[in-house]
Chain A
């Protein structure tokens, strides 16, 4: 059973994927039921695993391919952090997507590939070896493309082309890095320290650049971020998936794995790789925020905000210190919760009132109070206002910078928070404090409240608030991240 649990976890989204592909469009209720049902099953499996791992159980499953190549699924604390996040967000996004699309075209295909994406993300989280990681990473690339081009118009097709251009080139670099590394070391597993002595220092630096470059294409590190704002052409649930559940997270998660479980912190420090990466991440944080300020489209602004926020995770990993990694990992969760709330909000605005630009937001808080309250909580969290979760991330990242002897990190965080405030507060100001002259009346709005479109945002916003308020508990994201940090740094 212990060996099978990770397999079941990875395969659990495959069933709704196949059901969605196979069922004709007119059986939509059955399809929706299958999607939500399996998401719940998966959540139950995750809870089972969480209990097991907290109790010290080991879960591992291995399938041999050819010699030197095997699929290894392993559950460790880091894997669970990502899996729990993606499973929870999968459930709410599924509910949201059902309401968002209603009975639009091509839905069997949409839900099929959506579930394949979630399967790939789960596989990425549970990967126990580099090549397993790569296999799921590519599956993610491939299954995301049909979602990006879902609408089929010129803009979506162009976004799909750009997306593939970046991610496939990134995958090629990643594959080259992995095979080059393994040609000297043998298959790399995440749980044992890898013997890297077969390669020279310069070779290792080059391989590191190849791998982080390849992963950076998905994590939207500058200058590889270009695809993310363009992919905004896709429907809102897809944006939620790209920005919070799977894609950019997969890149950031991979970078954490490379630094901590492939090279190991000592070698990363010895080769002098951490600080340059931290600087690149910082540059991305500031660049993304500055570009976000300049956007007038809500989704575009959120996209550049993602470019900025995901790099917090990379920053935490590359600073190589206990507080920094805790900050980075906890942000993996916090950013996911907050960003998905924002996208749910933006999607609901576009769907119900046709609002896509910031100057259309005047007074919308009074017409869509729940959505906008959730949106506001998430936005404040992004800025780093306590007690929302974002504050906890930034606090630990700042401490981590000091601990690693890189005090400039504080300046980056402060600057970024200032910029965050600059691009989020005007939205909140318009939504709550400006008159709602241009909008339909409250009665009209309350006549049709699609709860499945509204509640997911409320749930994720509450989770973001809870993660901040209850950060001290051992089962909070922070508690879990501290557990991982202790595992690494306390022998």
Chain B
């Protein structure tokens, strides 16, 4: 049993156990979080030496299931373990059953958390397109159910988009099997050619994943679903779930199909990403409530990720010393993972303390709950891509690639996106600092604020200590990461 299998099986076991333990199931997270982090660290140590992978139970593909982990997978699994573990601990306050009996929510949150965890880890470890499909659907169920904690209507809308996206993905995978007789990404990389059936199949897969990643213009479901869920659920959805479908896109284009996209397709994705940055930011500025603001910020931040497709490899000739856009995109995904989780948790605490939903209701909170507001501010710095933060490092890499390649529009969008982010994120912060009185707040347990703070500091640390993560994600990175899509 290697850490790679265990990282998928353990959360499933925790899910069953938390169901079986009933009222005490919530406290399982106290064991699950360190166990999962330890497993992820163990995996990282293995991958640092060389990427790992094997067939589960000795059954060889195509009928058996092959799993593998390179630097990219292992980095995402570690980030997920830390983020999901901390979010789980945070959720103890909200979803631990009260003494006088359990509620439906406190009973269902925990299995869903572990299912989601297993699903994203399975996605990070999958080496073939069909296993990815199965994992993606497991993720959909867990994510929709969590979104349903907030508003069922928003969750159902999310579900419908996700269903259609899954079918689109599945159809693409079927067509690829028909053309190449395999769904293994390693084999596909050798066989794939840029003919019409392949492009059609790739189109279906990409469209399905875009819908699940909420890329503009298919983002409509995200703000209501992420904006109305309870804070821990929002954090899981915004930090992990949308990253998982983006991860598959990254894998699909860079690992499985590096030679077929052509610049037009890459620029199409880039253009949608750029539009998402601007549109999401403008929408975020227009919000009067805090959580929809943070949710629209996710729409905008996801846009940056799609700039990877046209910009990867772009600086190869003009700026050979630069680290490149692929690494920039991955760093951006990781730092957004931490920063957005921190921001949703901090926002949840602030809104609860002030008993409000609106930004105007936050007045004076910087005096009443300084640690929480500080956590919000630190995560905002990463989202604004200001130093010192992981967001800044990522943006610097993307910007260098854009300017070295003369891709002016992308550079302008990134600069504008940073400024717009400052506009929408300083609004709640300014409210929190305004006023002279210290408002009376609904008391929240003091230790809760430490969790968003830890997550926000991790987003910053990703910038301050970026050398290690950067080197790590290069382990087993595909050639296309450096040279770009052809």
Direct contact of A and B (CB under 8 A): yes
Q: Chain A residues in contact with chain B, CB under 8 A?
A: 21, 63-69, 105-106, 109, 131, 134-135, 138-139, 141-142, 146, 149, 151-153, 157, 160-161, 164, 168-169, 171-172, 175-176, 179-180, 182-184, 186-187
- 7 A-B pairs with CB atoms under 8 Å apart are A64-B467, A68-B319, A68-B322, A105-B367, A164-B422, A179-B403, A183-B403
Known contacts A152-B435, A175-B399; A183/B319 CB under 8 A = yes
Complex: A187 Cα to B319 Cα, angstroms: 10
Instruction: Report yes or no: A172 in contact with B415, Cβ–Cβ below 8 A.
Output: yes
Complex: A186 Cα to B315 Cα, angstroms: 11
Query: Which A residues lie within 8 Å of B418 (CB)?
Result: 172
Query: Is B466 an interface residue, CB under 8 A from the partner?
Result: yes
Instruction: Report yes or no: B366 in contact with A65, Cβ–Cβ below 8 A.
Output: no
A280 → chain B closest CB, angstroms: 23
A67 → chain B closest CB, angstroms: 4
Known contacts A66-B470, A138-B387; A152/B434 CB under 8 A = yes
Query: Is B381 an interface residue, CB under 8 A from the partner?
Result: yes
Query: Is B433 an interface residue, CB under 8 A from the partner?
Result: yes
Q: Chain B residues in contact with chain A, CB under 8 A?
A: 315, 318-319, 321-323, 327, 331, 364, 366-367, 370, 381, 386-388, 392-393, 396-397, 399-400, 403-404, 411, 415, 418-419, 422, 426, 430, 433-436, 463, 466-467, 470
A72 → chain B closest CB, angstroms: 14
Instruction: Report yes or no: A69 in contact with B323, Cβ–Cβ below 8 A.
Output: yes
Complex: A169 Cα to B415 Cα, angstroms: 9
Q: Which of A69, A146, A157, A182 has the largest number of chain B CB atoms within 10 A?
A: A69
A-B residue pair count with CB separations less than 8 angstroms:
102
Q: Which of A135, A142, A157, A183 has the largest number of chain B CB atoms within 10 A?
A: A183
B482 → chain A closest CB, angstroms: 11
Nearest A residue (CB) for B380: A142
Instruction: Report yes or no: B404 in contact with A183, Cβ–Cβ below 8 A.
Output: yes
Instruction: Report yes or no: A153 in contact with B315, Cβ–Cβ below 8 A.
Output: no
A26 → chain B closest CB, angstroms: 15
Query: Which A residues lie within 8 Å of B396 (CB)?
Result: 69, 131, 179
Q: When A and B form their complex, which 8 residue pairs have the shortest distance between CB atoms, in order from nearest? A: A135-B387, A183-B403, A183-B404, A66-B323, A66-B470, A68-B322, A67-B323, A65-B466
Nearest B residue (CB) for A148: B433
Known contacts A135-B387, A138-B387, A161-B430; A175/B319 CB under 8 A = no
Complex: A69 Cα to B395 Cα, angstroms: 12
Nearest A residue (CB) for B435: A152
Complex: A65 Cα to B387 Cα, angstroms: 12
Nearest B residue (CB) for A150: B433
B319 CB contact (under 8 Å) in A131, A149, A160, A186: A186
A66 CB contact (under 8 Å) in B404, B430, B435, B466: B466
Q: Contacts A65-B463, A65-B470 given; 12 further ones with Cβ under 8 A?
A: A66-B331, A69-B396, A138-B386, A138-B392, A141-B386, A149-B430, A149-B434, A151-B436, A152-B434, A179-B403, A180-B403, A183-B319
B370 → chain A closest CB, angstroms: 7
Nearest B residue (CB) for A109: B370
A68 CB contact (under 8 Å) in B321, B415, B436: B321
Complex: A340 Cα to B100 Cα, angstroms: 64
Instruction: Report yes or no: A142 in contact with B381, Cβ–Cβ below 8 A.
Output: yes
Query: Which A residues lie within 8 Å of B403 (CB)?
Result: 179-180, 183
